[in-house]
Chains A and B, each alone.
Chain A
Amino acid sequence: MLAYFVKRLGLAVIIVSVAMLMLFCMIYAIPGDPAAVALGPRATDAMREALRIKMGLDQPIWVQFWNFFTGAWTGDLGREVLSDRPVLGVVLEQLPFTLALIAGGIIWSVALGIPLGCFAAIRRGSLADRIVGILSVAVIAVPSFVIAIYALLIFAVQLRWLPAIGAGEPGDLGDQLFHLILPSLAVGLGWVGYIARMVRASMLEVLEASHIRTARAFGLPDRQITYRYALTIAVLPTVTLLGVGIGQMLSSAVFAEIVFARPGVGKLVYDAILTRNFPLVTGTVLVTTVLFVMLNLVADLIVGALDPRVRSSF
């Protein structure tokens, strides 16, 4: 297990490093002088030169990369252009909003997906099973931002059941949760489909297993067999699925934040692009990428701990 952990961690570090290299190349390739962009057209040549030296742009490219690389690993992502605050601080300030949104999406997808998948597996082949199957495919297929806009249109604008804008009053947890319902549904709805399909498939597999047959032979009630002995095993694969899913939910969260005008890293990076605040863009992309790689790592490690076959095949 330890060897697997070390290997997997090493790979994650290498992947993040390569991602940093790609990101650096992208920043470097952006046309125009970053210092000139940051200062605007009315800056003097002397001001631009001073900022260039301050930003380290007068150094050779490999020195610039090394500074970027070591800075990024130690948490120094540079300073943002507008308010001159450290990028990492700005991003970490917004991150909890996005994580709350993703957590809400996971709760929605698990709360709806597991019962639906379980229900479909028990009534295998019935009309209800088919309808659940089609609905699962449908919510997976439709892009999350369309779901977000339609959810906003139906539940906030037309029915006025739920708020449309913002993250709620700071400090008022009830209000914040109330504001979270709709955006997190938009983030999690697609994953209801994935989880329902996954749980259905693994349920069908588990129901064929010998320990279930033994339980039946002992005459245990169906309900107990299904929920106590089959479902507890059948939900395990969803852990891996969620590890992959969180990355995609991050993408959905970006749209949900923009549609529902919520604070968060998505809104942050979107506004940063519109104001050409490049250090903030790359900083946010980097933080979310590291987060994504880490979550995948955690999911892999959990699966590795649960299933020794994964470890040996690595």
Chain B
Amino acid sequence: MSEAVSDPQAAKPPSDAWRAVRRLLREPLGVLGLTLVLLMVGGAIFADLLTSWDPTRINPRDRFLGPGAEHLLGTDQLGRDLFARVLHGGRVALSVALIATGISLVIGIMLGLIAGYGPRWLDNLMILLFDSVKSFPTVMLALALVTLFGPSLTSVVIVVVLVTVPGYARIIRTQTIALKNSEYVTAARSMGASPARILRVHILPNVIGPLVILASMDIPVVIGIEAGMSFLGLGVRPPTPSWGSILNDGFTSIRDTPWIAVAGGIPIILVTLGFTFLGETLRDVFDPRLKAR
């Protein structure tokens, strides 16, 4: 690698990464976060192995059973096993988080690069659009979009993308502007490199790192949006299990069968705490500069 020769600090990347992991493992909060995240991700991936119940199978004779040996978390108003629904709900939550964050990152990076590197008027226009999108309160934006697209997972993803893209694009834009007139970029430009090449080779690698950390810290927010919309009946359609829809089932019968609401809420609390603790520790370990935000 040519960079390794020119930059002695990058000569031993494995040891750097290893040191970061060791520092993470020395932080109790980071370990707690990592454990919670691994627990929930593992539960979602191995859902079929961990329980033999079908999360969507209706069983009218077993309605509203309390937690016990056969149904670990009890059953809901249709006699469906709540433990199975929680595990499978984790699949929905985590896949929405991954897909939506991925799409947001790609769009945010592209828009940010264009705004930062493009002409001034385009930059102003895009900043105005970002600010306008951000001026809608999140839930109001979500509700308005659901009236347009109808309740579905796609609507959830669109809401998440619209809510998070402006923030990502602004970060990339600011850093692109800072780098645009740096000497090495000017050098590349004077040697005839095209804007696309400058952005791809010289600017993108330098701006992407902090953004990935920030995006990973947004995962709890994204999971919250999915669960919140599903709770309102505006996200995942039944019978697909989602933590939000379990919470809604529990909410309607909260006086008589509180365990359903407990079963829906606990995973949301654990996973948001896990990702937040992990994200905070990772940020402090990798890039303390971001702490100011």
- Interface size band for B: 35 or more
Q: Are B132 and A19 in contact (CB under 8 A)?
A: yes
**Does A250 have its Cβ within 8 Å of any Cβ on chain B?**
yes
A interface with B by C-beta (< 8 Å): 11, 14-16, 18-19, 22-23, 26, 29-30, 134, 137-138, 140-143, 145-146, 149-150, 152-153, 157-158, 247-248, 250-251, 254-255, 258-259, 266, 269-270, 273, 276, 278, 281-282, 284-285, 288-289, 292-293, 296
B136 surroundings in chain A (CB, below 8 A): 19, 285, 289, 292
Q: Are B272 and A142 in contact (CB under 8 A)?
A: yes
B255 to A: closest C-beta gap in Å: 6
In the complex with contacts A15-B131, A146-B268, A138-B273 CB distance below 8 A: yes
A16 surroundings in chain B (CB, below 8 A): 135
Q: Are A146 and B265 in contact (CB under 8 A)?
A: yes
- Name the segment of B54-62, B107-115, B138-146, B189-197 touching the other chain: B138-146
Q: Are A284 and B132 in contact (CB under 8 A)?
A: no
Q: Are A247 and B137 in contact (CB under 8 A)?
A: yes
A95 to B: closest C-beta gap in Å: 13
B interface with A by C-beta (< 8 Å): 29, 128-129, 131-133, 135-141, 143-148, 220, 224, 227-228, 231-232, 234, 247, 250-251, 254-255, 258, 261-262, 265, 268-269, 272-273, 275-277, 280
10 new A-B contacts at CB < 8 Å, known A145-B227, A149-B261: A14-B128, A30-B147, A137-B277, A141-B275, A149-B265, A255-B139, A259-B251, A285-B141, A289-B137, A289-B140
Closest 5 CB pairs of A and B: A143-B224, A141-B276, A18-B132, A251-B139, A141-B272
B65 to A: closest C-beta gap in Å: 19
Q: Are A26 and B144 in contact (CB under 8 A)?
A: yes
A-B contacts at CB below 8 angstroms, number: 121
A270 surroundings in chain B (CB, below 8 A): 143, 232
Q: Are A288 and B265 in contact (CB under 8 A)?
A: no
Residue of B nearest to A259 (CB): B251
A260 to B: closest C-beta gap in Å: 11
Residue of B nearest to A14 (CB): B128
CB < 8 Å: which of B143, B231, B276 contacts A137? B276
A296 surroundings in chain B (CB, below 8 A): 135
Complex-state Cα separation, A158 to B272, whole angstroms: 25
Residue of A nearest to B231 (CB): A145
Complex-state Cα separation, A30 to B280, whole angstroms: 41
Residue of A nearest to B268 (CB): A146
Q: Are B143 and A22 in contact (CB under 8 A)?
A: no
Q: Are A142 and B273 in contact (CB under 8 A)?
A: yes
B217 to A: closest C-beta gap in Å: 10
Q: Are A269 and B135 in contact (CB under 8 A)?
A: no
Q: Are B254 and A157 in contact (CB under 8 A)?
A: yes
B12 to A: closest C-beta gap in Å: 33
A192 to B: closest C-beta gap in Å: 15
